[in-house]
């Protein structure tokens, strides 16, 4: 069954245009923890939380500052990740992350789980 992921700005609820949505869909395969990513084109901002740093969060170009302020307020005392300053990378992909993905790094269930 075909599905379409719906992305919205966490601040105002705006939705991206088709080209930005494609870039956001590709960002779903990013393996990161506590990182900001610039999504080009369109200047959207993605927060790759994880664990104690919360969920993934998205901001349109007009609300990038509000997203970083909110992330810093809520998670800034837990770790230093929220305090990273721009410029932010556009991807975290490397040969190591590609190898991790091929080994099942994005699988819903660990390949090494018991049972």
* pLDDT tens digit sequence for 80-106: 999 999 999 999 888 887 787 788 766
Q: Does residue 30 belong to any structural domain of this protein? A: yes
Residue 25: which residues within 8 A CB-CB, separation 6 or more?
Answer: 5
Q: How would you class 56 by CB atoms within 10 Å of its CB: exposed for 0-12, middle for 13-18, buried for 19 or more?
A: middle
- Per residue in 42-70, pLDDT (tens digit) is 999 999 999 999 999 999 999 999 999 99
How many domains does the chain divide into? Answer: 1
Question: Which own/partner pairs from 105-108 qualify as long-range (CB within 8 Å, at least 24 positions apart)?
Answer: 105/31, 106/29, 106/31
Provide the domain limits for residue 51. 18-102
Structural domain contains residue 79: yes
Domain annotation covers residue 9:
no
Distance, CA of 10 to CA of 43 (rounded, Å): 15
| Residue 58 placed within a domain | yes
In a domain, 6, yes or no: no
pTM over 0.85: no
Query: 113 lies in a domain?
Result: no
* 68 within some domain: yes
């Amino acid at each position: 069954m075909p599905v379409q992921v719906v992305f919205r700005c966490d601040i105002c609820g705006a939705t991206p245009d088709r080209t930005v949505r494609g870039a956001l869909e590709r960002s779903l395969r990013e393996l990161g923890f506590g990182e900001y990513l610039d999504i080009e084109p369109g200047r959207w901002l993605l927060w790759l939380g994880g664990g104690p740093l919360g969920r993934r969060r998205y901001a349109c170009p007009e609300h990038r500052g509000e997203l970083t302020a909110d992330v810093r307020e809520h998670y800034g005392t837990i770790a230093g990740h929220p305090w990273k300053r721009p410029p932010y990378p556009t991807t975290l992909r490397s040969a190591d992350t590609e190898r991790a993905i091929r080994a099942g790094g994005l699988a819903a269930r660990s390949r090494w789980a018991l049972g």
